[in-house]
A and B are shown apart, each in its own frame.
Chain A
Amino acid sequence: MKRSFLSVAVLWAVLVFLYVPILLVFAYGFIPNGISMSFFDARGQFSGFTTKWYAQIFSGNFAVRDLLSSFWLSLTIAGLATVASSVLGTTAALALHRWKDRIQSIHHALVYVPLVMPDILIGISLLMLFVAVKIDCGFWTILVAHITFCVSYVAMTVLARLADFDDRIVEAAYDLGAGPWTAFLKVELPVLMPGIVAGGLLAFTLSIDDVVITSFVNGAGTNTFPTYVSSMTKHSRNLPSVFALSTLMLIFTCVLAGISRLLTGRNQVVRQKAAVTDKE
């Protein structure tokens, strides 16, 4: 296709631009010298690869103890924030979808505005709240902050799913003798589940990656993985272990995404089949 040659060229250039740093993250995990961050020694000789950083991570060496504990803290907070924000976000979406009164329009603004605010404003305003009521920052303040910014994302994802929801299937359930609770638990909730799971996954990735909001509300000494990494980039001999851990995380998320893709893919097949039988 000659006519879109330029746009395809730009697309390839952009893909290279996006992937070079990722390849570097992968490569830096095998770097022998953690101070100069170079594969070459002082005389310009190639000094080979090493797997010692990976060994350090898997053996839980004291040099990476803080890194690993910050990583576990991130996982804990992301897990708890995902569960809490999934519940809050789903109830919010159900309420916003079902009722359209004055309260819901305020509710909608409360859910929507955090999405368009820069992270730093959410971080600073929560810090101000904790200053005003004199709460010491730590684990709980981080968790509260993460739940707060995740709720909106879950709510929006579930709301999008609800927009496609066909109310007739609930009516069909009533006609077949189901009570309101049975209809909700056995019909409505299973249909919404992919939306809730997608929102939850989004919340998890946002929470585990957040550095801006956390750096405002973490207080002294409580570090999640991102804030720990940004604090150790100044002076550390263990930087390659950060890159090694990141590579492991990337592989892990790719596997997770592959699984979820398979699940939603199967779901799509089911939906298409349903559509076909509908026509018949």
Chain B
Amino acid sequence: MNNPLHTRKAEWALTAPSFLWLALFFAVPAVIVLMFTFHGHDASGGVGEWSLSTWRELVDPDYPAIVWNTLRISFEITVWSIVLALPCAYAIARMKTRWRGIVAGAIMLPFWTSFVVRVFAWKTMLHPDGWLQSCYIGWLSVRAWLFGWLPGFMQDFLLWAGLATPGAVDPASSTILDSEAAVVLVSVYSFLPFAIMPIYSAAEKFDFSLLEAARDLGAKNFYAFRRIFVPGIRQGLVSAVLMVFIPAVGSYVIPQMLGGTNCILIGNKIFMRAIQNRNIPHASALATLMAVAVLVPIGLAMWWKKRQDVRGRRRLDAQTARLMVSAGGAR
């Protein structure tokens, strides 16, 4: 068919605008960032000569600690979000069809208020005289009490990993504002809907009669939930993890407004180096590290999905073979 809208020329006309735009403003800048990491910086805030000094300076004891903190806090945020999102998605998927749309809409609605304004509302709520401060002290005391019960080697491990702090809780010096807990709390608040939605859309397609079948076969409620429901929705689970983990690694506004000096993540350091200290090569190198931190889980997820597909196909092949064999037997 000689349709003028399906010719080679038409392909160029339709491809060129977005292709060139994204090449110029997405791909080229990424290459520039990578190139800048192989330069030193000069005193006037520009980019200096070719050198490996930037990469050598990255082992400066400050940076590895920040990268580790970012990964650890992103992991905490992801775990909390998934733990909360799973029962929510399950509950919505089990509702009547009419209610599902309403509740799903209600979960997304708060996100039409400006993000900065919402974070600022949290900042006022986390004020040292507020009720959340007393909750925080209570939480810290419970944690310290539990920590005291652990065997010595586990205490050492938690201290080493930065997951616990030694000593008793001092209510005067531990404020929830400017703490890591505030960053985790508000990040979970911000990313939770993005964890609920993919799990919910996977759960909507889930066949709940499987759960009843499991129960008929003697499985306890939680066992059936864990062994039948969770594996049944794992695709949604993987995308939920990515939807939370990626913005958590890249987060910058929340730690800047609520974390104070106690919670500086890669994002904050990039901003500091790029805008305040005008050290372009260092900012580029940190950005490269962040890109790696994001691309590794994405790559893993893609590899996993591919493997799942292959496995699924093999299982299907085996099933078909069995069916054919049994059909042959019947004949």
**Which chain A residues have a beta carbon within 8 Å of chain B's beta carbons?**
1, 3-4, 6-8, 10-11, 14-15, 17-22, 24-25, 28, 37, 87-89, 91-92, 94-95, 98-99, 103-104, 106-107, 110-111, 113-114, 116-122, 124-129, 131-132, 144-145, 147-148, 151-152, 155, 180-181, 184, 205, 208-209, 211-212, 215-216, 225-226, 229-230, 233, 239, 242-243, 246, 249-250, 253-254, 257
Q: Which of B51-59, B121-129, B133-141, B318-326 contacts A (4 or more CB under 8 A)?
A: B121-129
**Pair A114/B26 contact, Cβ less than 8 Å:** yes
**Which chain B residues have a beta carbon within 8 Å of chain A's beta carbons?**
3-6, 11, 13-15, 17-19, 21-23, 25-30, 32-33, 36, 47, 84, 87-88, 90-92, 94, 103, 106-107, 109-110, 112-118, 120-125, 189, 192-193, 196, 221, 242, 246-247, 249-253, 257, 267, 270-271, 274-275, 280, 283-284, 287, 290-291, 294, 298
Q: What DSSP secondary structure best describes chain A's contact surface?
A: helix
**Pair B4/A180 contact, Cβ less than 8 Å:** yes
**Pair B121/A225 contact, Cβ less than 8 Å:** no
**Pair B110/A22 contact, Cβ less than 8 Å:** yes
CA distance A210 to B290 in the complex (A): 20
**Pair B29/A254 contact, Cβ less than 8 Å:** no
CB contact between B32 and one of A87, A125, A147 (< 8 Å): that residue:
A125
Contact status of A110 and B22, CB under 8 A, knowing A21-B122, A24-B121, A119-B250 = yes
**Pair B120/A144 contact, Cβ less than 8 Å:** no
Residues of A within 8 A of B250 (CB): 117-121, 212
Contact status of A230 and B124, CB under 8 A, knowing A116-B242, A128-B33, A132-B32 = no
Q: Count A/B pairs, Cβ under 8 Å.
A: 227
The minimal Cβ–Cβ distance linking B292 to chain A, given in whole angstroms, is 11
**Pair A229/B26 contact, Cβ less than 8 Å:** no
CA distance A131 to B29 in the complex (A): 10
The minimal Cβ–Cβ distance linking B7 to chain A, given in whole angstroms, is 10
**Pair B112/A250 contact, Cβ less than 8 Å:** yes
**Pair B23/A126 contact, Cβ less than 8 Å:** no
**Pair B193/A230 contact, Cβ less than 8 Å:** no
**Pair B252/A120 contact, Cβ less than 8 Å:** yes
**Pair B121/A147 contact, Cβ less than 8 Å:** no
CA distance A249 to B15 in the complex (A): 36
* 15 additional A-B residue pairs with CB within 8 Å, beyond A10-B91, A107-B19: A4-B90, A15-B103, A19-B110, A28-B121, A88-B17, A99-B11, A110-B26, A113-B26, A116-B242, A120-B270, A124-B270, A124-B287, A128-B284, A226-B114, A249-B114
**Pair A226/B287 contact, Cβ less than 8 Å:** no
Residues of B within 8 A of A15 (CB): 103, 106-107
**Pair A144/B118 contact, Cβ less than 8 Å:** no
